[in-house]
Amino acid sequence: MKAVIQRTFGSVDVLSIAEVPKPILKPRDVLIKLKSIATNPTDIKSRENIVNGPALTDYKILGWDGVGIVEAVGSNASFYKAGDHVWFAGSRFRQGCNAEYCAVDERIVGKKPTSLTWEEAASFPLTGITAWEVFFDSMKIGKSDEGKTILITAGAGGVGSIAIQIAKKILKLKVIATASNPKSIELSKRFGADFTIDHTKNLEEQLNALGFKTVDFILETNNLERNLETFGKIIAPWGRIATIVNGAKIDPSHLLALFSKSVTLSFEMMFTRSAFEVDMERQKEILDQLAKLADEKVLEHRAFTVFPSVSLENIREAHRMQESGKTHGKIVLTADFI
């Protein structure tokens, strides 16, 4: 099969398209013929090995957002059959889906929403699972929290743009998103943000100007190191902060404010379940829930940049755009390899 591969870590130049063997299925795997794929910040981090992955001994296939058709199932797999239309985010510790075929454990695969195109559907899995896990598994936001306030950083970004929708439409929270340019502001509001503030300016002052002294929840998708001190000031006593950014570079003295307010800080890593093989079917359950909500038009797709094929030039350009941090919504590629 054809795949986007790399043999060393580095810039977009390490990416190439090559002919490699089709994946061999493990007992609970399904083999998926890809129809569409999307990029995520983790592609860039993996390509450059910012995530501190193991040294490359062979080629590596990136990509953790796939939609396609089941072609075969493993000896012990029972959830899907050939011909099923499915979507998944996959495991960071296996070969990814920037290829014609991908093998994925059936427990982290869901049925694709029927009303979306392949490309529209590819905008959901990784960021949708991330936001869902953050809200329901980590922060444990529930019915009794309706009407409370949440600040979501980078509202027009991959996770931000789905998180706003879930926070507003499902959890019925009052949503303040950060956005710094007219297009981001427009998108954040379209997804459901009640207010936007500019993350390049003083967050506390802008919140106060909107009439909020504190917020009950914060979802940090962008720069915990820069924002943590401010979060200590604006989070409510007993508030909850979740971050999809690791805390390795924070100034720990900024945790004092969280302590004095009895705040909870949740780290969210979408690959935890597949990496440690714990409670993996929860991701299938989340994907099925997202599919239902997408089909019911509660959640809107965010495939705003669509490349019509996977050429070397297209995948490198998709990476460059992802790397810029300035794109809106999701970057998607139709999985026709040329």
The residues that touch its own copies, with contacts defined as CB under 8 A, are 133, 137-138, 140, 236-238, 243, 246-253, 255-256, 258-269, 272-273, 275-276, 278-279
CB of 248 to its own copies, least distance (A): 5
CB of 279 to its own copies, least distance (A): 7
Q: For its own copies, which is the closer residue by CB, 15 or 162?
A: 162
Q: For its own copies, which is the closer residue by CB, 130 or 196?
A: 130
Q: Residue 203: which of 174, 173, 223 has the closest Cα?
A: 223
Strand partners for 247 = none
Q: For its own copies, which is the closer residue by CB, 275 or 338?
A: 275
Q: State the pairing for strand pair 29-38/66-73.
A: antiparallel
Q: For its own copies, which is the closer residue by CB, 103 or 241?
A: 241
CA-CA distance, 85 to 288, in Å (whole number)? 12
CA-CA distance, 98 to 36, in Å (whole number)? 9
For residue 126, what are its two tokens? Answer: 């990784």
What distances in angstroms separate CA 147 from CA 135, 142, 170, 216, one per listed residue? 15, 11, 11, 10
Q: For its own copies, which is the closer residue by CB, 74 or 247?
A: 247
CB of 135 to its own copies, least distance (A): 13
CB of 243 to its own copies, least distance (A): 8
Under 8 Å between Cβ of 164 and 175:
yes
CB of 276 to its own copies, least distance (A): 4
Contact partners, residue 319, CB within 8 Å, separation at least 6: 12, 15, 39, 43, 44, 47
CB of 185 to its own copies, least distance (A): 30
Q: For its own copies, which is the closer residue by CB, 49 or 264?
A: 264
